C-alpha cells in the first residue's frame, strides 16, 4: 500500500469516526427514536407508531399543558403520556370534565371519545389530586401530572403518582412511521 493510499484510507476512517460520533451525540443529547407500546394514547397515538423524542427542548423551557412526553416509568421501561397538570396547580376530574385550580379546561383531543360514551360508561373517572399517590394538595415544583389519552386503559399519574422532571426524557410530537400515520401531533 502506498503512502497516498494509506493517507486516503486514514481520511475515510477519520470521516466515519466523526460521523458515528456526531450521530452518537445527537442521539444521546438531542433526538432519539421511540416506539409506542400499547393502547394508552389512542386515538392520538397507536401501538407501534414510531416517533422522534426531542431530548433538548426542556433544557430551554418547562413542559406545557398537553405536551406529549416520554418519561422513565421504571429503569427498563419508558412511557408516553400527556402533561395535564403543572407545578403549583390543583387537578381534578369530575363528570368527564378536567378542572385546573377549580376552572374547567377543555381537552380537545378527547372530544370524539367523550361524544362516543354510552350512558353509564366512564372514560376518565372522577379523581382529585389528593386521591393520587403522594396525597398532594398542589403539584410540587419540578413535577407534572400525566394522563394517557385512552383514559380507561392507561397506567399514568392516577396509579404512578406525579412524574418528576428528572424522569422526563423529552417531548414528542412527530410520528414518522408507519408512513400513513406521518404527522406532527397537536392538541
| Longest distance between any two alpha carbons in the chain, whole Å | 82
> How many residues are present in the chain?
187
Q: What is the grid cell recorded at 44?
A: 392520538
CA 84 → CA 46, 143, 163, 170, 180, distances in Å? 20, 11, 11, 15, 28
Q: In whole angstroms, what is the distance from residue 25 CA to residue 56 CA?
A: 12
Look up 81 and say whether it is catalytic. yes
Under DSSP, the state recorded for 54 is E
From the candidates 3, 6, 14, 40, which is the catalytic residue? 40
From the candidates 3, 76, 81, 154, which is the catalytic residue? 81
Residue 15's H or E segment, with its range, is helix 3-29
Active site residues: 40, 81
Amino acid at each position: 500500500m502506498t503512502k497516498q493510499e494509506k493517507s486516503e484510507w486514514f481520511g475515510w476512517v477519520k470521516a466515519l469516526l466523526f460521523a458515528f460520533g456526531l450521530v452518537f451525540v445527537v442521539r444521546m443529547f438531542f433526538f432519539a427514536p421511540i416506539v409506542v407500546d400499547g393502547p394508552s394514547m389512542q386515538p392520538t397515538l397507536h401501538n407501534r407508531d414510531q416517533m422522534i423524542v426531542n431530548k433538548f427542548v426542556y433544557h430551554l423551557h418547562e413542559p406545557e399543558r398537553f405536551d406529549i412526553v416520554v418519561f422513565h416509568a421504571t429503569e427498563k421501561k419508558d412511557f408516553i403520556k400527556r402533561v395535564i397538570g403543572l407545578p403549583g396547580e390543583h387537578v381534578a376530574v369530575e363528570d368527564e370534565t378536567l378542572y385546573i385550580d377549580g376552572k374547567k379546561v377543555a381537552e380537545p383531543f378527547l372530544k370524539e371519545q367523550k361524544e362516543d360514551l354510552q350512558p353509564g360508561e366512564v372514560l376518565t373517572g372522577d379523581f382529585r389530586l389528593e386521591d393520587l399517590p403522594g396525597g398532594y394538595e398542589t403539584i410540587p415544583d419540578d413535577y407534572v401530572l400525566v394522563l394517557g389519552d385512552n383514559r380507561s386503559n392507561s397506567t399514568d399519574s392516577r396509579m404512578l403518582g406525579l412524574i418528576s422532571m428528572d424522569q422526563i426524557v423529552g417531548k414528542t410530537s412527530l410520528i414518522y412511521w408507519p408512513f400513513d400515520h406521518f404527522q406532527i401531533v397537536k392538541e
